[in-house]
A and B are shown apart, each in its own frame.
Chain A
Amino acid sequence: MRQEFKTSIDRALRNANLTGALGKFSEAYKVNRAKVYEGIDFEELRGQIAELKSSASSILPELVEQFRKNAEAKGAKVLYTNDPAQVREYILKVVRENGVKSIVKSKSMATEEIHLNSFLEKAGLEVCETDLGEWIIQLAGQTPSHMVMPAIHMTKEEVAALFSKEVDERLASDIPRLVKVARKEMRPKFLRAEMGISGANIAVAETGSIVLVTNEGNARLVTSLPKVHIAVIGIEKLVARFSDIVPILKALPRSATAQLLTSYVSVITGPVPNSDGSTKELHIILMDNRRSAMAADPMFKEAMQCIRCASCLNVCPIFRLVGGHVFGKVYTGGIGTILTAWYDELKSSEEIQGLCIQCGACKDVCPGRIDIPGLIMEIRRRLVKEQGMDLTQKAIFSVVNNRRMFHGLLRAASVAAKPFSKGSKFIRHLPMFLADLTDGRSLPAIAAKPFRDVFPTIAQPQGLKERAVFYAGCLIDFAYPEMGEALVKLLNHAGIEVLFPDDQTCCGAPARYSGAYETAARNAADNIKTLMGERADYVISACPTCTVALCHEFIATLESLGNSHWLPQARELAAKTVDFSTLAKKLVDEGRLTFRQGQALGAITYHDSCHLKRTLKADQPPRQLLRQAGYELTEMFECDTCCGMGGSYSLKLPEISAPILQRKIKNIKDSGAQLAAMDCPGCVMQIRGGIDQDGAPVRVRHTVEILAEQVVASVGKP
C-alpha cells in the first residue's frame, strides 16, 4: 500500500468528529432500519428488485431506445452517450443556447462522477448545489464522503464557520438556525437560475418518466423554477415498466435513511409548464460511462442491481471508522469500491479494495441483493491476474502450504519472541516493524506441539459407530491444539471416532481473500484428496472460515478457474462438511450428547463470527448449546459485528483492525458477562489478545472448549 493511502487512513482515524458522527449514525441506523422494515418481507422485496434490475441491465440498449422514443414523444430531448466529455459539452451547448448564467443543482452522483461543477465554473457559470449537504461540501471545496449524506463528516461548528464566511455574519452553531440560513441564502439563487440540473433515482423506459426522491424539496424547486431542466442519469437507473418503481421506492428510503418515504417523490414525464406560460426545455442525458461494459460482465452485472441507497456504507464496520474520503473522490464504501473499479478503472480500486474485511454485513442488507464482498473478492482476483502476486505474498503462501515448515517457522518466531511473551501464552509486543501487529492485541504464542502431533497421542475409545474427519485449519493446528482435543473428547462422547488425515493443509482462504485463486485451487485439490480419502460420516471443522471454504469456496474457486476435475468430489465434500456447533446441536437433539444436569454456570456472552452467522447461517446452535449446558446468555451490543480479525486483514491494516477490536472489547465488557464464547479460533485470537491487553477479567473461549467441560457420558453408550 502506498504511504499516501496509509496517511489518508491515519488522518481519518484521528478525526474524532468523523468517527464520532459515523459511529453514532451507524448505531442508530441499524435500529431505525429494522423499525421501518417491520411487517415487510425484505427477502421477497429485494428478490423483486434484484430481478427487475437484472432483467433491465440485460437489455440496456433496448431500454435506452425505448426511453428515448417515449420521452421524445412527450417533448423531451434525450442524449445517450458513453463519453463523460460529451455530457459536459452537451450541457455547455444548452447553456450557451439559452444564455444561462446561473445554474441550480439538486443532488446527482452522475455529475459528481464527471466533475461537472468545476467544468461549468471554469466556463464562467455560477453553479450552486442546493442539497444542504452538497452545498456545505461545495462551500468547503470538498467531495462527498457518503452517497446519501455528503457532509456527514462535518460538525455543526465547521458548518457554522463556513456559512459565517458565506453570509459575512458570525453564526452560532445552532442547527435549525443554520438550516434557515441555507434556505434564505438559496432562495434568490433558485429564483434567478435559468437552468436546473438534477439526477434521477429511476428512469422508466415504458413511459419516458424520471423519478426524483428528496427530503429537502430542492429537487422540486430545481425542476420547477428555472426554464431549462437537464437531468443527468446513469443508465443503471433504467427500469422497464412503470410499476417497477413501486418496489424501488419501497426499499430506497427505508434502506437509505430509515424513512417510510422521503418527503418528496416527483415523477416527471415530459416537459411541464413554466410560470411565465412557456413550456420547459427538458433535456435528459443517459450516461453510460462503462455501465454497459459492466452489465456485459458475467460477474459484475450484479452491481447494476444497485439502487444507490448506501446502506452498505451504513452497516460497514470499516466505513464507520474511516468515512468516505479514503475511498476516493466520488463513490465510497463497499459498492463505491466496485463502481470505482469500473467507472474509473480497475487499478483505481487497487488500494481501496483492501479496506474490505469480508464480514458480509453489507450483503445482508443490500436491497439489490448484490454480493458486494464477493465482487470485491473478484476485483482482487482480477488485480492479481493482471498484475501478479507480489513476491512476499508468493513466499508466504509457499510456506503456508508446507505444514510442518510453516509450524516450524511460526514456532521459531514465537520462541525468538520469548523475551516479549514474558513466559505467558501471549506475545504482547513485537520488535520494530512488527510492532503494529501487537498494538492493542496480543498474539498467541505458538504451541510447542501442533495438533497434528498431539492427535496420535489421544486415546480414543474402541468400537465407536460413526467416524468424523476433523479438519483443523491453521489456528487450531498451530496455536490452539486444545480446541482440537476438546472436539475429539466431545465427539467421542457422542459415539463418533475422530480421524485426522495428516496431509490436510491450509483451506486456501488467505490465498483466495488475497485474490490468489490459483494457490487457493491447489489448496482445495490437496484437501479434497486428503479429506475424501477417508471413509467417514462427517467432515467437521471448528473454524467457520475453513468450513465456508470446504462447503462453498472450493467449488467456487475451481469453477471460476474452469477446473472441473475436482468438482464432483468438491461437491461431495461440501455435502459432508458441517461446522462444530451445528453437528453438536444435532447430537444433543438426538440424545447422543448430554450435559451435566442442573448446572447454573452464570452469565456468558456470545460473539457471532462473520462466516458462521452470515454464510453458514448458524448463529443459533451455539447459543442453544450454551444455554443447555447451563449458562445464562447475556447478549452484548452489536454481537454480530466483526471483531476486526478478518484473517490477514489485521496484519495488513492493523490501524483499522485495532479500533474495531476496541469496540468489540467494550461491548463484551459492557455485557457484564465474564465469559465470552465464539465459534471461530480467529475471533478467539483477536478478542483474547484484545482482552489480554485491556486487562479486563473476561475469559475468551471457543464454544467447543466450554462445552467439552460440561459433557457427561450418555446413557447406553459403549
Chain B
Amino acid sequence: MFEQFKAKAEGVSAEVHRFSTAAEALAFLVGFLQGEGVADLAGQYGVFAACPFLNQVDRTSLAAIPGLSFEVTRERAAAAKVGISQVDWALADTGTLAQDATAIDKRLVSTLPSIHVALVETSGLRPDMRALLADIRPEQAAYLAMITGPSRTADIERVLTIGAHGPERLVIVFIDRMGGSN
C-alpha cells in the first residue's frame, strides 16, 4: 500500500519520505527545518501542532531551532514558512492524507504556511476512502480533513499552478514504528 500511496502522492506533487523510527524521522525533520532556513523572523517561523509524535521524541534538537514554536497562534502561523502536524491516515488509492483536524492548531499549521510537513504512522495506511470512513465517524471528528497534494489552482487559462491559498509544498513523512526511539 505504501508504494501505491507514494506513486499517487508524488503524482500530485507531494514529497514522500519513509523512516523506520520516530528518532530517524526527527533527525530528518531537524535537518529539513534548518535547510529551509526556519528562523526567529516573521516569514521564516516554524509552527508545530501538538501531536503524539512530539510526546514520543526528545524535543531538545527541535527546541534548539530558533523560530520554531509549539504554541500555535494564527499570527504565528500566518508568518510561518513551515507548519508541521501529525495526520491520522493515508489513503493509498489517491495519495490522500486524512486527519481529525478539529483542533484549530492542526488546521492553522496546514493551511497558512507555505510548506506543510505531515507526519503519519505507516499503520495509518488504508486502501481507500471507503475503508477510512468505516474507521471514523463524523460524530467523533467535527472537522475531518483530507489533503491530497499541495494547494493548486487552474483558474487562469486552465494552467495548473501549485500553491494557491494553501501550502505550495506538502512533505509527507511516514514513520513505521512511532513507539520507542530505536
A residues with CB within 8 A of B: 21, 24-25, 28, 74, 130-133, 136, 149-152, 154-156, 159, 175-176, 178-180, 182-183, 186-187, 190-191, 204, 207, 209, 215-218, 220-221, 223-225, 242-243, 245-246, 249-250, 257, 259-275
Q: Is A136 a contact of B156 with CB atoms below 8 Å?
A: yes
Comparing B15-23, B27-35, B57-65, B138-146, the segment that makes contact with chain A is B138-146
What separation, in Å, do the CA atoms of A186 and B151 have in the docked complex?
15
Q: Is A267 a contact of B154 with CB atoms below 8 Å?
A: no
Q: Is B146 a contact of A265 with CB atoms below 8 Å?
A: yes
Q: Which chain B residue has the least Cβ–Cβ distance from A207?
A: B138
Q: Is B44 an interface residue (CB 8 A)?
A: no
Q: A183-B164, A209-B138 are in contact. Are A216 and B104 (CB under 8 A)?
A: no
What separation, in Å, do the CA atoms of A273 and B166 have in the docked complex?
20
Q: Is A220 a contact of B156 with CB atoms below 8 Å?
A: no
Q: Is A264 a contact of B142 with CB atoms below 8 Å?
A: no
Complex contacts, B147 vs chain A, CB 8 Å: 263-264
9 contacts between A and B (CB under 8 A): A21-B157, A25-B158, A178-B156, A220-B111, A261-B146, A265-B96, A268-B143, A274-B104, A275-B73
Complex contacts, A218 vs chain B, CB 8 Å: 164-166
Complex contacts, B93 vs chain A, CB 8 Å: 260
CB distance from B135 to the nearest CB of A (A): 12
Q: Is A260 a contact of B148 with CB atoms below 8 Å?
A: yes
Partner of B153, one of A152, A179, A245: A179
Q: A207-B138, A261-B96 are in contact. Are A216 and B152 (CB under 8 A)?
A: yes
Additional pairs, 8, CB under 8 Å, beyond known A150-B155, A259-B12, A267-B146: A133-B155, A156-B156, A182-B164, A191-B78, A216-B164, A225-B74, A269-B141, A269-B144
What separation, in Å, do the CA atoms of A374 and B138 have in the docked complex?
38
Q: A131-B155, A159-B156 are in contact. Are A217 and B111 (CB under 8 A)?
A: yes
Complex contacts, A257 vs chain B, CB 8 Å: 154
Complex contacts, B145 vs chain A, CB 8 Å: 220, 264-267
Q: A25-B158, A149-B158, A261-B146 are in contact. Are A215 and B74 (CB under 8 A)?
A: no
Q: Which chain B residue has the least Cβ–Cβ distance from A249?
A: B129
Q: Is B107 an interface residue (CB 8 A)?
A: yes
Complex contacts, A209 vs chain B, CB 8 Å: 138
Complex contacts, B163 vs chain A, CB 8 Å: 179-180, 183
Partner of B156, one of A179, A245, A272: A179
Q: Is B51 an interface residue (CB 8 A)?
A: no
Q: Is the interface of B mostly helix, strand, loop or mixed?
A: loop
CB distance from A682 to the nearest CB of B (A): 33
Q: A209-B138, A249-B129 are in contact. Are A156 and B157 (CB under 8 A)?
A: yes
Q: A132-B153, A260-B8 are in contact. Are A272 and B142 (CB under 8 A)?
A: yes
CB distance from B42 to the nearest CB of A (A): 13
CB distance from B76 to the nearest CB of A (A): 10
Q: A179-B156, A221-B165, A224-B108 are in contact. Are A216 and B138 (CB under 8 A)?
A: no
CB distance from A61 to the nearest CB of B (A): 23
Complex contacts, A74 vs chain B, CB 8 Å: 139, 142
CB distance from A198 to the nearest CB of B (A): 13
Q: A242-B133, A261-B96 are in contact. Are A216 and B157 (CB under 8 A)?
A: no
Complex contacts, B148 vs chain A, CB 8 Å: 260-265
What separation, in Å, do the CA atoms of A261 and B97 have in the docked complex?
11
CB distance from A253 to the nearest CB of B (A): 9
Q: Is B107 a contact of A207 with CB atoms below 8 Å?
A: no
Q: Which chain B residue has the least Cβ–Cβ distance from A157?
A: B157
Q: Which chain A residue has the least Cβ–Cβ distance from B14?
A: A263
Q: Give B152-175 interface residues, CB cut-off 8 Å to A.
A: 152-159, 161, 163-167
Complex contacts, B141 vs chain A, CB 8 Å: 267, 269
Q: A263-B149, A269-B138 are in contact. Are A221 and B111 (CB under 8 A)?
A: yes
CB distance from A226 to the nearest CB of B (A): 11
Q: Is B41 an interface residue (CB 8 A)?
A: no
What separation, in Å, do the CA atoms of A24 and B142 have in the docked complex?
41
Partner of B133, one of A215, A246, A259: A246
Q: Is B151 a contact of A217 with CB atoms below 8 Å?
A: yes
Partner of B161, one of A130, A175, A275: A175
Complex contacts, A268 vs chain B, CB 8 Å: 142-144
Complex contacts, A250 vs chain B, CB 8 Å: 129
Interface string of B46-74 (1 = CB under 8 A from A): 00000000000000000000000000011
CB distance from B134 to the nearest CB of A (A): 8
CB distance from B41 to the nearest CB of A (A): 18
Interface string of B95-111 (1 = CB under 8 A from A): 11000001110011011
Q: A224-B111, A242-B137, A246-B129 are in contact. Are A261 and B94 (CB under 8 A)?
A: yes
Q: Is B150 an interface residue (CB 8 A)?
A: yes
Which 8 A/B pairs are nearest by Cβ-Cβ distance? A217-B166, A216-B164, A133-B155, A267-B144, A265-B146, A269-B138, A132-B155, A217-B151
Q: Is B138 a contact of A175 with CB atoms below 8 Å?
A: no
Complex contacts, A175 vs chain B, CB 8 Å: 156-157, 159, 161
Q: Is B149 a contact of A275 with CB atoms below 8 Å?
A: no
CB distance from A286 to the nearest CB of B (A): 18
CB distance from A41 to the nearest CB of B (A): 15
Interface centre among B133, B155, B157 (most CB of A within 10 A): B155
